[in-house]
Amino acid sequence: MTMKNRIALVTGGTRGIGRAIAIDLKKAGCKVVASYHGNEEAAQAFRKETGIEVMRFDVADFDQCSLAVKRIEAEIGPVDILINNAGITRDGFLHKMGAESWHAVIETNLTSLFNMCRVVIEGMRARGFGRIINISSVNGQLGQVGQANYSAAKAGVIGFTKAMARES
């Protein structure tokens, strides 16, 4: 598969693993958009350093995801490659974990997959081309002390990905 001129969207793409993925996709010839949510300064430094477009939106919010993809399609073109990498941690022992920490991690790390895949899948199917990569963690298989929320979300990523693959 040639990557030349393919449009890739990397969620959580301005730092850490997402940063490395975005840079490698650009090197492979893709037009890349890296999303971020919180760290404006880091995102703008990334854009300046790499020349990769950045876009701020909350992957946990379906409407923001939909608007972001529509904007990318209007300004750059249809998303060919989606890397669902955005993720957060809110670690704490379950007996001390608040509902807010639980929901924030589940929404950002798992619900975001539905949000992002749902807004790109129809276009990918209509064009007969698309690649979606969902980033999980070993903690989704093994669990981790103080990460009931994170481990549950990452286990959900694995199940979601397997189910979605059977639909293609």
Which regions of 16-143 does DSSP assign to beta strands (E)? 31-36, 53-56, 81-84, 131-134
DSSP at 111? I
Distance CA 88, CA 86 (A): 7
* Given 36, 46, 57, 150, the catalytic residue: 150
How many CB atoms are located within 10 Å of the residue 29 CB? Answer: 13
DSSP at 94? G
Q: Report yes or no: 158 and 141 within 8 Å, Cβ to Cβ.
A: yes
Per the annotation, the verdict on 36 as an active-site residue is no
Strands 7-10 and 53-56 come out as unpaired
CA nearest to 146, candidates 84, 106, 89: 89
Q: Which two tokens stand for residue 75?
A: 């300004």
- Give the catalytic positions in this structure: 150
